Amino acid sequence: MNYEVTISDDFWNRYRGLVKHRMIPYQWDVLNDAADITIEKERDDASIPNEKSHAIENFKIAAKRAQGEHYGWVFQDSDVYKWLEAAAYTLCYEWDAKLKETADEVVDLISAAQEEDGYLNTYFSIMEPGRRYKRLGESHELYCAGHFLEAAVAYHQAAGSDKVLETAVKLADHICSTFGEGNGQIRGVDGHEEIEIGLMRLYHLTGNEKYMDTASFFLRERGKDPGFFMRQNREDGGRPLIAGLDRFPLKYYQMHRPVLEQDTAEGHAVRLVYLSTALADLAAETGNEELAGTCRKIWRNIVDKRMYITGGIGSTVHGESFTLDHDLPNDTMYCETCASVGLIFFARQMLMIEASSEYADVMERALYNTVLAGAALDGRHFFYVNPLEAVPDKSAKDPGKSHVKTVRPQWLGCACCPPNLARLIASLDKYIYTVRKDEILVNLFIGSELKLRDAGKDIVIRQECRYPRSGTILFYVTNKGGDVLDLKIRIASWSTVHTGAVDNVEAEICAQKGYWKIGVPAGEHTIAFNMDIDPKRWYSDPRVSENIGKAAIARGPFVYCAESIDNGKDLHCLLLPKNAELDHEWREELLEGVGIIKARGKRLIDADSSGALYRGSKDLRTEECEITMIPYYAWANRGENEMRVWLNETEGEGKP
């Protein structure tokens, strides 16, 4: 259905302005090696390339407009594609002729780097043309292709570029004829899912079912032939494209079992959520219940057992992966920014399968916490990994924590996250509402206007709010179509008290799968919705061993954390009394405007002067203190700092 959404929200417009005016130009300079910055390795690993990006130069070399060798990861092209996609979305909310000119030049360059038969990948074109598709477990050829297809769809829609679409169709046609179950075709998949998403998007744009069929082939083929990568590697015989990747277990690639038999979230977290996103898209498009069932099982396992309170996923740096149920360490975790971006993609597609608010709840959780934490408030520093507990000294000296950075780098050797975050924020208008055949869901509370004129419907929904500062949201709905509009407003899972009124008459809020369903007749109507947004304590399932005796504080969608800049060092010595009041205070001047939370707390003091590491008695006392917390997304914006989300609890009220 055709509709458009315009965002008019202070909180988000600051971010969208940041993407448009800071991230896009900055990332462009980085991709051109024109920024005077330090590129950091994402962890302590000598094999990580971090001298430069070289991403645009790689295209110039492949297009024979420059000479030289490819530099960077085999998937370096995807940085350019994600940049192009993000730039495309920004053009939709702020037209910019100069940016369009640059983007057109990028499209020209990409198209010049494309080979005659449609193949597109700078690494293989420049360095090893003979190894095309020979080592798919590592090559990321289809992963990069998927990112280009996504970018092409976005840029074609934003700027009407035919050239980008022609290049994409040529690439997709080449892939569709090369891969499949037919004679002479490669019956295999890429080690990193993404092509499936790209092909589905091209299908949605063009209506050409061939693209959906090939996406379906890739999805269903995964895990059917577990020996595929190993066989390919043996036949290829050459040096690995990514050292050590072939030692990861099949689960890393979601290859341990046919996809439709998978019911837990396994392996590399970004891969898993990209896989699930495409699977859910295909399920919604075809109405296939078996596919939808698999999506639900994977979703359940993530959300019920393997997701952090911040919406982060991936419990270990080893393979950037999930581990096991309830294994959620706060200080060695991975919680890659891209994984939460992907989780949001997955949630959005699940809403096309069914109108259940839990998908939007998770979307909001990941967005307002891990995703936002992925960028500094200046839009030019980025986290790849998002800890829930960090101590600078430990990150510096413990090799097991080299991935847990406490200052956001300017750029990373593997730069998947910064442009991923940019493309998500720039396309946020696509997440606020879900327009289903017979209903409209309000998923996110973001000041905005939705205009829908299609299939006999003529609807405008204006959402006004100061969320997340306040939990009061107003909707002005104009329904000019003849039919009653089924509008469903999400009742956020964090709100315990909510009230509503329709045309100033108090209404009973009947929840339907977590949404307040309102039949809006023709005419103009006002709907008011109030959710309590008071700070609350949250606790973990006791099977999460790390969080026993600890509480996390959240206000609305924002998870809070304590930083040493406000609370002194050794945050593990802070004790939050179980009944201490949690006072919220808006601070306009702090961190671009944040609500801080204060509580009367205690600090453990060592009363044993011996300094002995182990003692026969527990000689500790406590002193009163004030605990100050800020929203998690804003941490690490005031210099290097200790940080902690889960605070130790103690009895009492904390009153002096």
Active site residues: 320, 416
Q: Token pair for residue 351?
A: 């809403």
- Nearest approach, Cβ of residue 308 and Zn ion (Å): 16
- Nearest approach, Cβ of residue 127 and ligand FUB (Å): 18
* Nearer of residues 294 and 332 to Zn ion, judged by Cβ: 332
Q: Count other Cβ atoms within 10 Å, centred on residue 121.
A: 30
154: left (phi over 0), alpha (psi -120 to 50) or beta: alpha
* Nearer of residues 142 and 270 to ligand FUB, judged by Cβ: 270
- The answer to whether 414 contacts ligand FUB (rule: CB under 6 A) is yes
Q: Which strand (E) or helix (H) includes residue 83?
A: helix 77-93
Question: Which of the choices ligand FUB, Zn ion, none does residue 645 contact, using the CB cut-off of 5 to 8 A by kind?
Answer: none
* Helix orientation angle between 162-178 and 97-113, rounded to the nearest 10 degrees: 30
How many angstroms separate the CA atoms of 210 and 189, rounded?
Answer: 17
Q: Which residues contact 293 (CB under 8 A, 6 or more apart)?
A: none
How many angstroms separate the CA atoms of 533 and 181, rounded?
Answer: 54
Helix, strand or coil, per DSSP, at residue 87: helix
How many angstroms separate the CA atoms of 200 and 149, rounded?
Answer: 9
How many angstroms separate the CA atoms of 218 and 282, rounded?
Answer: 12
List the x/- string, 45-84, binding to ligand FUB by CB under 6 A.
Answer: ------------------------------x---------
- Nearest approach, Cβ of residue 320 and Zn ion (Å): 8
CA dist 172 → 119, 148, 511 (Å): 9, 10, 43
At 141, the amino acid letter reads E
How many angstroms separate the CA atoms of 361 and 373, rounded?
Answer: 18
- Nearest approach, Cβ of residue 320 and ligand FUB (Å): 5
Question: Which of the choices ligand FUB, Zn ion, none does residue 42 contact, using the CB cut-off of 5 to 8 A by kind?
Answer: none
Handedness of CA 569, 572, 573, 578 (dihedral sign): positive
Whether 467 contacts 446, CB under 8 Å: yes
| Beta strands per DSSP E along 78-204 | none
List the x/- string, 431-470, binding to ligand FUB by CB under 6 A.
Answer: ----------------------------------------
- Nearest approach, Cβ of residue 162 and Zn ion (Å): 31
- Nearest approach, Cβ of residue 140 and Zn ion (Å): 13
- The answer to whether 275 contacts ligand FUB (rule: CB under 6 A) is no
Bridge partners (DSSP) of residue 528 are 474, 501
Question: Which of the choices ligand FUB, Zn ion, none does residue 414 contact, using the CB cut-off of 5 to 8 A by kind?
Answer: ligand FUB
Q: Count other Cβ atoms within 10 Å, centred on residue 107.
A: 24
338: left (phi over 0), alpha (psi -120 to 50) or beta: alpha
- Nearest approach, Cβ of residue 48 and ligand FUB (Å): 11
- Nearest approach, Cβ of residue 75 and ligand FUB (Å): 5
Within 335-354, the residues that bind ligand FUB by CB under 6 A are: 336, 338
* Nearer of residues 139 and 264 to ligand FUB, judged by Cβ: 139
How many angstroms separate the CA atoms of 117 and 135, rounded?
Answer: 20
Q: Which of 80, 197, 390, 416 binds ligand FUB (CB under 6 A)?
A: 416
Question: Which of the choices ligand FUB, Zn ion, none does residue 452 contact, using the CB cut-off of 5 to 8 A by kind?
Answer: none
- Nearest approach, Cβ of residue 482 and Zn ion (Å): 47
Question: Which of the choices ligand FUB, Zn ion, none does residue 192 contact, using the CB cut-off of 5 to 8 A by kind?
Answer: ligand FUB
CA dist 103 → 63, 100, 274, 345, 555 (Å): 16, 5, 25, 24, 40
* Nearer of residues 269 and 594 to Zn ion, judged by Cβ: 269
- Nearest approach, Cβ of residue 554 and Zn ion (Å): 25
Helix, strand or coil, per DSSP, at residue 225: coil
- The answer to whether 192 contacts ligand FUB (rule: CB under 6 A) is yes
Number of residues that make up the chain:
656
User: Which residues of this protein are in contact with Zn ion, per CB under 5 A?
Assistant: 336, 338, 416-417
CA atoms within 13 A on the CB side of 279: 32
Number of residues that bind ligand FUB (CB under 6 A): 8
Pairing status of strand 39-40 against strand 411-412: parallel
How many angstroms separate the CA atoms of 133 and 318, rounded?
Answer: 26
List the x/- string, 480-519, binding to ligand FUB by CB under 6 A.
Answer: ----------------------------------------
Q: Taking CB positions, which residue lies at the least distance from ligand FUB?
A: 270
- Nearest approach, Cβ of residue 423 and ligand FUB (Å): 13
Question: Which of the choices Zn ion, ligand FUB, none does residue 23 contact, using the CB cut-off of 5 to 8 A by kind?
Answer: none
- The answer to whether 320 contacts ligand FUB (rule: CB under 6 A) is yes
469: left (phi over 0), alpha (psi -120 to 50) or beta: alpha
* Nearer of residues 127 and 625 to ligand FUB, judged by Cβ: 127
Long-range contacts of 29-34 (CB under 8 A, 24+ apart): 30/411, 30/415, 31/55, 31/56, 31/79, 31/80, 31/83, 32/56, 32/57, 33/57
How many angstroms separate the CA atoms of 208 and 203, rounded?
Answer: 5
How many angstroms separate the CA atoms of 85 and 77, rounded?
Answer: 13
- The answer to whether 364 contacts ligand FUB (rule: CB under 6 A) is no
Distance of alpha carbon 467 from the chain centroid? 21
* Nearer of residues 96 and 246 to ligand FUB, judged by Cβ: 246
Question: Which of the choices Zn ion, ligand FUB, none does residue 320 contact, using the CB cut-off of 5 to 8 A by kind?
Answer: ligand FUB
- The answer to whether 99 contacts ligand FUB (rule: CB under 6 A) is no
- The answer to whether 113 contacts ligand FUB (rule: CB under 6 A) is no
- Contact residues toward ligand FUB (CB under 6 A) are 75, 192, 270, 320, 336, 338, 414, 416
